[in-house]
């Protein structure tokens, strides 16, 4: 492996930062301590710091030479609402909050690259180090963009990275095209007419209407989507009724949908709306339909995916870059940045199951693997040195 020795030399500093952030997890838009740690580090490296985008977002800008090219590197900084079950020294000090997705490690790897690049300045152009809050649940990337991220810190391309338990330490996975799915929220309230359970003809049963809808929604995947494309429609909550002999007045369905293409995401919304309204009309029930776009599909542009793969191969060797990773149906708010600029989202192996770093993310026993800090920071640095040569 051709990791940067200069970065390996300060691995202990990175590990200390990572564990400090791990011990002090903060969730969506409340990452004030984490933002302070990031800002302090960047300033220590002599990097210009901007704060306040999406409340707790931090952007460090480093310009070297006269090159006009600008590259954005993004790390997410937020934690999860999860009770940590680990017992090590750096376990969470905040009950019910945990860095269970490794964003503590993402933040630290990007700080490692910032330190190296500020010290060596072996590139020509501008790097924007984007530390983004609230990746989980509420798409903080979208808020940073709305707050003017790319007006204030324009980028010709943007890159993101996530650790991947189950993939060996020292491996990367990247592919052009979709790598993660969209994720939307849907809530349908069906209002019928309540009645005695023994006299259903006196009412309009919203539960029967809901049942028709739940089944019909499945035809979006099986009969409205190209079989070579991928769609998930999951109704995950059915809320109705309170006793056995009363037909309730209302029923509510809540769920999530996933797609790998923007057009497919659009199609799901319009099909669900049409099915919900059509079935409501057919049975004489009123339907309120709420569809909230949360995450777009994360789609890597081919050129930038190639840049990512090349930088990864330079560090870990071509044989350790998985270039045909199938996309997952999970979601990632970096998709909003890729919707604005060309770029690529890469996965870095965190370790295989049973070994260090092998525990899956969002599990209370998860921990980011400090052994990949140097690998990730070297990848970021190489990417900049390659593309801003
Ligand atoms: Zn997560
Ligand atoms: Zn994550």
**108-149: pLDDT as tens digits:** 999 999 999 999 999 999 999 999 999 999 999 999 999 999
- Give the Å distances, CA to CA, from 20 to 13, 182, 246, 281, 323: 11, 32, 55, 57, 34
**pLDDT surpasses 90 at 284:** yes
Interval between CA 197 and ligand 1 midpoint (Å): 44
Question: What percentage of residues in the chain have a pLDDT greater than 70?
Answer: 100
- pLDDT band at residue 1 using 50, 70 and 90 as cut-offs: confident
Interval between CA 362 and ligand 1 midpoint (Å): 6
Interval between CA 136 and ligand 1 midpoint (Å): 6
User: According to the model, what pLDDT value does residue 372 have?
Assistant: 98
Maximal CA-CA distance, the chain: 81
Interval between CA 80 and ligand 2 midpoint (Å): 9
Interval between CA 82 and ligand 1 midpoint (Å): 11
pLDDT, tens only, 290-303: 999 999 999 999 99
3 state DSSP class of 314: helix
Interval between CA 84 and ligand 1 midpoint (Å): 14
Give the ligand whose atoms come closest to the C-alpha of residue 350. Answer: 2
- Distance, CA of 122 to CA of 116 (rounded, Å): 9
User: According to the model, what pLDDT value does residue 361 have?
Assistant: 97
- Distance, CA of 221 to CA of 144 (rounded, Å): 33
Q: Check if the beta carbon of residue 11 is closer than 8 Å to that of residue 113.
A: no
pLDDT, tens only, 50-94: 999 999 999 999 999 999 999 999 999 999 999 999 999 999 999
Interval between CA 117 and ligand 1 midpoint (Å): 28
DSSP 8-state assignment for residue 380: H
Question: What percentage of residues in the chain have a pLDDT greater than 90?
Answer: 98
Share the mean pLDDT of the chain: 97
Interval between CA 104 and ligand 2 midpoint (Å): 10
Interval between CA 103 and ligand 2 midpoint (Å): 6
Nearest to 115 by CA among 21, 12, 10, 37: 10
Q: In the chain, where do the E strands start and end?
A: 48-51, 58-64, 70-76, 80-81, 97-98, 125-132, 157-165, 172-173, 177-180, 183-191, 195-196, 231-240, 246-247, 250-259, 286-295, 298-300, 321-322, 343-351
Give the residue-averaged pLDDT of 22-31. 98
pLDDT, tens only, 167-220: 999 999 999 999 999 999 999 999 999 999 999 999 999 999 999 999 999 999
End-to-end CA distance of the chain: 22
Interval between CA 135 and ligand 2 midpoint (Å): 7
- Distance, CA of 3 to CA of 316 (rounded, Å): 7
Give the ligand whose atoms come closest to the C-alpha of residue 368. Answer: 2
Interval between CA 26 and ligand 1 midpoint (Å): 13
pLDDT, tens only, 307-328: 999 999 999 999 999 998 899 9
Residues comprising the chain, all counted: 389
Give the ligand whose atoms come closest to the C-alpha of residue 136. Answer: 1
Interval between CA 107 and ligand 2 midpoint (Å): 11
Nearest to 117 by CA among 7, 2, 1: 7
Interval between CA 320 and ligand 1 midpoint (Å): 24
Structure tokens at 1: 């492996």
Residue spans of the domains in the chain: they are: 5-179+297-387, 183-295
Neighbours of ion ligand 2 (CB under 5 A): 101
Give the ligand whose atoms come closest to the C-alpha of residue 347. Answer: 2
Give the residue-averaged pLDDT of 213-233. 97
User: According to the model, what pLDDT value does residue 38 have?
Assistant: 98
Give the ligand whose atoms come closest to the C-alpha of residue 345. Answer: 2
pLDDT, tens only, 344-369: 999 999 999 999 999 999 999 999 99
Superfamily of domain 5-179+297-387: Zn peptidases (3.40.630.10)
Interval between CA 379 and ligand 1 midpoint (Å): 21
DSSP 8-state assignment for residue 123: S
User: According to the model, what pLDDT value does residue 287 have?
Assistant: 98
183-295, CATH topology level = Alpha-Beta Plaits (3.30.70)
**pLDDT surpasses 90 at 373:** yes
Interval between CA 137 and ligand 1 midpoint (Å): 9
Q: Check if the beta carbon of residue 237 is closer than 8 Å to that of residue 188.
A: no
Interval between CA 232 and ligand 1 midpoint (Å): 19
Interval between CA 167 and ligand 1 midpoint (Å): 16
**pLDDT surpasses 90 at 286:** yes
């Amino acid at each position: 492996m051709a990791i940067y020795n200069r970065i390996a030399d300060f691995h202990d500093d990175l590990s200390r930062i990572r564990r400090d952030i791990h011990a002090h997890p903060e969730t969506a838009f409340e990452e004030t301590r984490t933002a302070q740690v990031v800002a302090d580090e960047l300033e220590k490296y002599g990097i210009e710091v901007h704060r306040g985008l999406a409340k707790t977002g931090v952007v460090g800008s480093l310009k070297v030479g006269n090159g006009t090219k600008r590259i954005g590197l993004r790390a997410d900084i937020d934690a999860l609402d999860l009770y940590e079950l680990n017992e090590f020294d750096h376990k969470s000090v905040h009950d019910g909050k945990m860095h269970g997705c490794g964003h503590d490690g993402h933040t630290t790897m990007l700080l490692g690259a910032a330190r190296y690049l500020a010290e060596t300045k072996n590139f020509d152009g501008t790097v924007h180090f984007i530390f983004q809050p609230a990746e989980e649940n509420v798409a903080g990337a979208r808020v940073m963009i709305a707050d003017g991220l790319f007006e204030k810190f324009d980028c010709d391309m943007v890159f993101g990275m996530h650790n991947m338990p189950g993939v060996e330490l020292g491996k990367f996975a990247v592919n052009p095209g979709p790598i993660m799915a969209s994720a939307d929220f849907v809530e349908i309230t069906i209002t019928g007419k309540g009645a005695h359970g023994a006299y259903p003809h006196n009412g309009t049963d919203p539960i029967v209407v809901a049942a028709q809808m739940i089944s019909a929604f499945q035809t979006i995947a099986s009969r409205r989507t190209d079989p070579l494309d991928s769609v998930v429609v999951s109704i995950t909550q059915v809320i109705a009724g309170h006793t056995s002999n009363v037909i309730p007045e209302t029923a509510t369905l809540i769920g999530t949908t996933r797609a790998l293409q923007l057009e497919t995401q659009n199609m799901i919304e319009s099909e669900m709306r049409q099915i919900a309204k059509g079935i409501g009309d057919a049975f004489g029930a009123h339907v309120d339909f709420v569809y909230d776009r949360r995450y777009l599909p994360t789609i890597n542009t081919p050129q930038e995916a190639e840049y990512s793969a090349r930088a990864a191969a330079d560090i870990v060797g071509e044989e350790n870059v998985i270039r045909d990773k199938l996309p997952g149906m999970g979601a990632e708010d970096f998709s909003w940045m890729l919707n604005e600029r060309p770029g690529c989202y890469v996965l870095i192996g965190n370790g295989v199951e049973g070994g260090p770093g092998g525990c899956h993310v969002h599990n209370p026993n998860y921990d980011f693997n400090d052994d990949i800090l140097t690998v990730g920071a070297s990848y970021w640095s190489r990417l900049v040195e390659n593309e801003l040569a």
